[in-house]
Structure 1
Amino acid sequence: MTGEIEAILIAGPTASGKSRLAVELAERHGGAVVNADSLQVYDGLEILTARPSPEDLARVPHHLYGHVDPRTDYSAGAYLRDAERVLEALRANGRLPIFCGGTGLYFKALLGLLDEMPDVPVEIREKWRRRLAEEGPEALHGELARVDPATAARLSPRDGQRIARALEVGEAGNAPLSKLQSGGGRALIDPDRARMLVLTPDRAELRERIAERFDRMLDAGAIDEVRLFEASYPDAGVTVRKAIGLAEISSFLNGNKGLLAARSLAITRTRQYAKRQETWFRHQFDARWLRRSPYEGGSFANGPSV
C-alpha cells in the first residue's frame, strides 16, 4: 500500500495513456486495475473499445472489463454496485484499487457525488423505450414537461434517450427525476484518502495518437470483430452502440460506406469525443484532481508520487 492512500483514480480523454499508467502503478504498488469506462464494461467489442491487451491482463489483475451483456443498458448505479463488490474483495486481499477510465460519471459515483437512482423494472423501461420508438422524442418531451418541468427544461426535445431515461427513473422512483437528484450519493472512496489524477495530453499529439490507435484497431481485426458482434447481438442495446467505430465499420460491411470514409469518420468522432471529455473533466473535477501530462518517451512525465 502507499501510506494513507487507499485508492488511485486515473481519468483522462480517450487514447491519453490511462491504461498504461494504471498497469505501471499496479505493478509498483501491488494493486489491481478497475475499469471506469462505460463502454469497456461490455462484452463483444474488445478491440474497438480499446480494452486492456492480453499482455497487460497478464501483468496485473483487471476487473469490470467485458462483464456486461451488450443487450443490457448498464447504468452508473449498476456500475457502483459492481465496483463495491470489487472494492471489498481487493481490500480484503490487501490490493490497492486503481480505477482507470474516461467516464466522469463513474468517478463521481465512486466519490459520492452522484445521486443513487432507483432500479428500473424491465417492464417500465420497455414501456418508455417502446413509446419513444412509436411516438418520437418530442412527444415524450411534452410528457416529461408535464410531470417534471425542471428536467424537461434542461433536455433537448430531440434527446430521446435522456428523455426516456428521465421518465422511466421518475416512474420507478415515484417522484420526478429533478426531486430524486438531491446531490448526495454514498461514497465508496474517500477523496481525502485517494490520489486522483487527470491526464492532460497535448491536443495535437492526442489527435495523432487517436488516428494511430484506430489504425492499430483495424490491423488487429476490428472489422472481423464488428462482423461477429452484429451477427451475435443484432438486438444490442443503445448504450453499447455508442462505441465509436461500430456504426462506421457496420456501414462499411453493409456496403454503404468505403473503408477509408469509415476510418476517417471514426477518427473524427473520436477526436470530438476526446474534446468533450477534456471539457467535462475541466469543469466537473475540482482542485483535488491533479492535472498531469501523459507519457512522453516511454515514461510518465511529472509522474505521481504515490
Structure 2
Amino acid sequence: MNNLPVITLMGPTAAGKTALAIELCQHLDTEVVSVDSALVYKGMDIGTAKPDANELALAPHHLIDIIDPLESYSVADFRRDACHHIDALHQRGKVPILVGGTMMYFKGLIEGLSPLPEADPDVRAQLEIEATELGWSQLHKQLSEIDPEAAAKISEKDSQRINRALEVFRITGKNMTELQKQKQSPLPYQFHQFAIAPTDRKVLHQRIEKRFQIMLEQGFKNEVLALYRRGDLHPDLPSIRCVGYRQMWEHLAGDCDYDQMVFKGIAATRQLAKRQLTWLRGWPDVTWLETDEQQNLQRVLTSLS
C-alpha cells in the first residue's frame, strides 16, 4: 500500500514553484494541493502571488481561498485537508502535486503530528495572571523544572512559547518534549521530494524584489486597504502577519511611509526565503532543482518511472 506516489515541490518564495507545477500538471493531467499558509485566505490574492484564473485553468489548485482572514488554519487542519485531496486524486488515478513553501505544513504531513492538546482559554488566562504577578522569568523557571529540554530552547522573554509549553503540561500532565516524540502512523504514500531555488542567492533576491514591485503595480495597496477598512481585522492575526501584508498595514496605519514600506516588505520577504532555505538544507531525501533549468520537468517525471 505504501506506493501511492505524491510529488512534493518545495522551495523559497519567488523560486519558480508555480511555473514548474503548471508544467507538471499539463504533462501528468493532474492537480495541485497548495502547501502555503497564506494562500488559504480569501481576498488576499496579489500579495500572496495566488495563481490567477489562467494558471488555475491549466493547473487546478486545492486549499486556496478556503477561509476568511479573520479565521486561523493550523498544521493539523492542513494535514487533514491535504490527505483528503491526495486520496481523492489517487482514487481518480492521478498523481497529486504538493506545491508551496510552508515547511511546517510539509513536516506535519510527512512526519505526522504530536498529540498536543488544543489551546485552553482558561489555562492561558491563568498563566497570564501568574506572569503579571511573578514575571515570565519565573514561569520559565517552572518550565525548567517540568521540561528542561524545552526550557533550554525557549528564551525567558518568549512569553508565547512559555505559555504554550506550560499550558500543555497543565492540560495533559505530560511535558511538551515527551508528547512531541509521539507521532501519528506514517501515511501510505511514496513521496518524491523536490526543492527548487537559484544557486546564486543574488538571483533569488532580484526575483523577490521584482515580484514585490509587480504586486504593487497590480494594486496590492488597494487589496490591503480593503482588508484594513473591514474593521474586524488587526495586525496580530496570522493573515495580517503574512509577509508584505504586515508592512502594508503599518503604512496604512501611518507607522511608516511608502518607501519604508517597500524596503521593509522586500527585506521581510528575503528573510522568509532565508528561513525556508534553512529548513530545506536539513531536509532528508530531497532532490534539488535549479530555477528555470530546462531539465527540471524531465527530472521530476523520471522519478516516477
Same fold per superposition (TM over 0.5): yes
How far residue 69 of structure 1 moved from its aligned partner, in angstroms, is 3.2
* Cα RMSD, aligned residues only: 2.7
How far residue 165 of structure 1 moved from its aligned partner, in angstroms, is 3.3
2:239 aligns with 240
1:186 aligns with 185
1:209 aligns with 207
1:291 aligns with 288
Structure 2: tracts of 5 or more residues without a match: none
Secondary structure of residue in 1 paired with 2:272: helix
Structure 1 residue 270 corresponds to structure 2 residue 269: yes
Identity of aligned pairs, percent? Answer: 33
1:136-163 CA-partner distances (Å, limit 9, x unpaired)? 7556534533443321210122333333
How far residue 211 of structure 1 moved from its aligned partner, in angstroms, is 0.4
- In the TM superposition, what are the counterparts of 1:94-173 in structure 2 within 5 Å? 94-111=93-110, 113-121=111-119, 123-124=121-122, 127=125, 138=137, 140-173=139-172
Secondary structure of residue in 1 paired with 2:299: coil
**Retained in 2: the 8 A contact 1:199–1:293?**
yes
The one-letter code sitting in structure 2 at the alignment partner of 1:250 is W
Secondary structure of residue in 2 paired with 1:85: helix
The one-letter code sitting in structure 2 at the alignment partner of 1:72 is E
**Retained in 2: the 8 A contact 1:41–1:65?**
yes
Distance change >3 Å, CA 228–CA 173, structure 1 → 2: farther
How far residue 205 of structure 1 moved from its aligned partner, in angstroms, is 0.9
Equivalenced residues, count: 296
The one-letter code sitting in structure 2 at the alignment partner of 1:182 is K
Structure number with bigger Rg: 2
1:159-205 CA-partner distances (Å, limit 9, x unpaired)? 33333333344444442111101153333353xx2321011312111
2:228 aligns with 230
Distance change >3 Å, CA 258–CA 195, structure 1 → 2: same
Structure 1: tracts of 5 or more residues without a match: none
How far residue 121 of structure 1 moved from its aligned partner, in angstroms, is 4.8
How far residue 80 of structure 1 moved from its aligned partner, in angstroms, is 0.7
How far residue 98 of structure 1 moved from its aligned partner, in angstroms, is 0.4
1:54-104 CA-partner distances (Å, limit 9, x unpaired)? 221122221111213333332212211111211222222222210011122
Secondary structure of residue in 2 paired with 1:99: strand
1:58 aligns with 57
**Retained in 2: the 8 A contact 1:110–1:187?**
no
Distance change >3 Å, CA 289–CA 121, structure 1 → 2: same
CA distance in structure 1 between the aligned counterparts of 2:212 and 2:58, rounded to whole angstroms: 24
The one-letter code sitting in structure 2 at the alignment partner of 1:304 is R
How far residue 282 of structure 1 moved from its aligned partner, in angstroms, is 0.3
Structure 1 residue 200 corresponds to structure 2 residue 197: yes
**Retained in 2: the 8 A contact 1:35–1:100?**
yes
Q: TM-score, normalising length from structure 1? A: 0.85
1:236-285 CA-partner distances (Å, limit 9, x unpaired)? 754223311122111221222111110011101111221121121102x1
Distance change >3 Å, CA 172–CA 236, structure 1 → 2: farther
